[in-house]
Homo-oligomer: A and B are copies of this chain.
């Protein structure tokens, strides 16, 4: 399970070619690590993606920087100039910090079903369980303690970090990454009320996860009741998110930590959902919608845009007064109406 330690270093010229930026200055200097502007040391490359930190360009000890064209004039350091410094940072970091390489093979302690098909280039860690008829693709890396049920399909280059549980009938696309403690395919929350008791509704659908998806630690994605729960390609989920049964999350949508999506809701493509947002079941969210952190969404959103619902934070004493007015807000509105009528009458 890999930390990513800096590799032997890369000439700035090579970084520029890899990241697609324009090289300004000496391309022969060797860059050995990535750092924030105010933490950088000689040998590091830093980046400016948030203009709030522009002042740090003058004082950084980095050997080179990644900047946008508008900021290029602010520093005499060797630099990569690019319209998207944050994306260039992502690419540079991937080059400077090579991924830890797995040693292919099945750990002797793992319990792999005789009917499972595991690619020879895949790595299966200690104490992993792989169920009947499950297929695991080339170079996939299943870290220690994962439990994968029957009839699953994990694509090439999939990574499951330690202790992921994959219930039966789950499919995970190529290059997707699943962090520790995630549970994929547990039963959705389905039950029928009869005479004041709950009857369990068997959850007989599955989970289908696209390619290039990343799922954060301890997130849970329930299997469908009938039919599948679906994450399309390049969906990015942070930690401790809950996705209910039969949801569909559109491609390139990112959801921040502790958000929840109740059953059968469909979220469009390229949406951004803030942390701790709560989205009710059986609604639809349009492509490109942005939901602020902490916001509760109770109705379908047809128009993309930014949506928010959280109450402003106040010092508690002040909040108590405000909350007390909120409670009586209907009465306040009625009083204003009465005033308007009275004045109209007085004015006549």
Contacts and interface: CB of A to CB of B under 8 A. Distances in A.
A78 interface: no
Contact of A129 (B5, B126, B222): B126
Contacts of A127: 111, 126-127, 129, 145
Nearest to A190: B90
Contact of A93 (B4, B204, B298, B318): B204
A195 B204 CA distance: 37
A101 interface: no
A3 to B, nearest CB: 4
Nearest to A306: B316
SS of A interface (majority): loop
Interface in A203-217: 203-204, 206, 212, 214, 216-217
Give the number of copies in the complex. 3
Interface stretch (A10-18, A24-32, A114-122, A238-246): A238-246
A275 B188 CA distance: 13
Interface string A140-153: 00011101011100
A168 interface: yes
Interface of A: 1-6, 34-36, 39, 84, 86-87, 89-91, 93-94, 97, 100, 107, 109, 111, 125-127, 129, 131, 143-145, 147, 149-151, 161-163, 165, 167-169, 177, 179-181, 183, 186-187, 189-194, 196-204, 206, 212, 214, 216-218, 220, 222-223, 226-227, 234, 236, 238-240, 242, 244, 252, 254, 256-258, 260, 262, 270, 275-276, 278, 280, 290, 292-299, 305-330, 332-333, 335-336, 339-340, 342-343, 346-347
16 contacts: A3-B150, A3-B206, A3-B223, A4-B203, A90-B190, A127-B127, A165-B180, A191-B236, A240-B242, A260-B276, A278-B293, A307-B314, A309-B311, A322-B326, A325-B329, A335-B336
